[in-house]
């Protein structure tokens, strides 16, 4: 059995600069030991601690699909000490990974349901993992209709453009990409995510809504979903509290009696309503 505190060695195989500002990059890692890769089996919505020796660790959601067994991807915004050091690394450099941690999205409930994804900014990462998982030919038949409403501040801030282009050609996916403000080249939707959600008005019938994004987007999207008939049990959020150990030991991430790292980071809106408003 692996020591849960011990990061497993990986190598950066590829990096993709996702946005115009250049401060959001996707890192593709390959585990050095096949046994470590085999042990890293995850559910969409889980996260891992990325470890840089002599620098520190930080929790990052897993952005690739569990169907991609050869590699694992994380999309990271440059914020502070660890993420800046990570952005300086190049292909071939080593990074430690420990995890996966957290509960992930409720895949049992999602199977057989219609799925409505409401996402803003770079918080799209774990929902991108989920989308690619659901769209995989081995899985697609197990899920109902998929609607995605994804927005960013500007066209240059949209991430996973290569996935968005691919998804736009599919007829089993209802994709709405919007920006707060367009530019000369932008011919798509312009508007905030909650108002596009209101216009698209996805049916709440046998549906679960997964919401990830900046707090203001979540705050204005939830009333729209409630108005459309989604119950608090059918609205699912992922939280990004500050964390340390990631595994329910240090008590840095608790909200009331819940550890976000262990009991979450995925909670239904009904569960969040029962917690102190510290998130």
Q: Interface with ligand FES by CB under 6 A: which residues?
A: 243-246, 248-253, 259, 261
Q: Using the minimum distance from each CB to ligand FAD, give the nearer residue, 18 or 178.
A: 18
Residue 151 partner contact from ligand FES, ligand FAD, none using kind-dependent CB cut-offs of 5 to 8 Å = none
Query: Helices 215-227 & 193-200, crossing angle to 10 degrees?
Result: 20
Q: Using the minimum distance from each CB to ligand FES, give the nearer residue, 140 or 252.
A: 252
Residue 144 partner contact from ligand FAD, ligand FES, none using kind-dependent CB cut-offs of 5 to 8 Å = none
Residue 160 Cβ, how far from ligand FAD at the closest point, in Å?
A: 12
Residue 207 Cβ, how far from ligand FAD at the closest point, in Å?
A: 25
Q: Using the minimum distance from each CB to ligand FES, give the nearer residue, 49 or 157.
A: 49
Residue 83 partner contact from ligand FES, ligand FAD, none using kind-dependent CB cut-offs of 5 to 8 Å = ligand FAD
Q: Using the minimum distance from each CB to ligand FAD, give the nearer residue, 76 or 255.
A: 76
Q: Using the minimum distance from each CB to ligand FES, give the nearer residue, 66 or 265.
A: 265
Whole-angstrom distance, CA of residue 170 vs CA of residue 53: 42
Q: Using the minimum distance from each CB to ligand FAD, give the nearer residue, 197 or 243.
A: 243
Residue 242 Cβ, how far from ligand FES at the closest point, in Å?
A: 8
Whole-angstrom distance, CA of residue 175 vs CA of residue 115: 12
Residue 259 Cβ, how far from ligand FES at the closest point, in Å?
A: 5
Task: Decide the pairing of beta strands 24-31 and 72-77.
Answer: antiparallel
Q: Using the minimum distance from each CB to ligand FES, give the nearer residue, 87 or 258.
A: 258
Whole-angstrom distance, CA of residue 234 vs CA of residue 225: 9
Whole-angstrom distance, CA of residue 158 vs CA of residue 137: 26
Q: Which residue is nearest to ligand FAD (CB)?
A: 80
Residue 213 partner contact from ligand FES, ligand FAD, none using kind-dependent CB cut-offs of 5 to 8 Å = none
- Give me the sign of the Cα torsion angle 252, 80, 25, 85: negative
Binding site residues, ligand FAD, CB under 6 A: 47, 56, 58-61, 75-77, 79-84, 125, 240-243, 265
Strands (E), the chain: 8-17, 24-31, 47-52, 56-61, 72-77, 94-101, 114-120, 146-152, 174-179, 189-190, 207-212, 235-238, 254-255, 258-259, 266-268
Helix (H, G, I), strand (E, B) or coil at 212: strand
DSSP 17-39: E-STTS-EEEEEEEESSHHHHHH
Is omega for the bond preceding 216 within 30 degrees of 0, making it cis?
Answer: no
Q: How many CB atoms lie within 10 A of CB 11?
A: 14
Residue 251 Cβ, how far from ligand FES at the closest point, in Å?
A: 5
Residue 125 partner contact from ligand FES, ligand FAD, none using kind-dependent CB cut-offs of 5 to 8 Å = ligand FAD
Whole-angstrom distance, CA of residue 142 vs CA of residue 1: 33
Residue 58 Cβ, how far from ligand FAD at the closest point, in Å?
A: 3
């Amino acid at each position: 059995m692996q020591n849960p505190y011990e990061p497993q060695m990986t190598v950066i195989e590829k990096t993709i600069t996702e946005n115009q500002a250049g401060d959001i990059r996707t890192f593709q890692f390959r585990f050095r030991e096949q046994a470590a890769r085999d042990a890293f089996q995850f559910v969409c919505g889980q996260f891992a601690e990325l470890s840089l020796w002599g620098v520190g660790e930080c929790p990052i959601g897993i952005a690739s699909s569990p169907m991609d067994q050869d590699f694992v991807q994380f999309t990271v915004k440059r914020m502070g000490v660890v993420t800046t050091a990570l952005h300086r690394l190049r292909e071939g450099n080593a990074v430690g990974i420990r995890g996966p941690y957290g509960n992930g999205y409720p895949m049992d409930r999602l199977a057989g349901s219609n799925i409505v994804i409401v996402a803003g900014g770079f918080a799209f990462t774990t929902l991108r993992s989920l989308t690619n998982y659901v769209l995989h030919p081995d899985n697609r038949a197990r899920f109902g209709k998929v609607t995605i409403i994804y927005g960013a501040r500007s066209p240059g801030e949209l991430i996973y453009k290569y996935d968005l282009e691919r998804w736009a050609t599919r007829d089993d996916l209802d994709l709405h990409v919007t920006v707060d403000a367009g530019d000369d080249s932008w011919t798509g939707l312009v508007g905030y995510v909650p108002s596009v959600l209101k216009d698209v008005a996805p049916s709440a019938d046998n549906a679960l809504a997964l919401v990830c994004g900046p707090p203001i987007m979540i705050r204005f999207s939830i009333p729209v979903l409630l108005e459309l008939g989604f119950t608090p049990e059918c609205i699912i959020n992922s939280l990004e509290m500050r964390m340390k150990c990631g595994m329910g030991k240090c008590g840095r991430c608790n909200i009331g009696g819940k550890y976000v790292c262990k009991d979450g980071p995925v909670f239904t809106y009904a569960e969040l309503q029962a917690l102190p408003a510290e998130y």
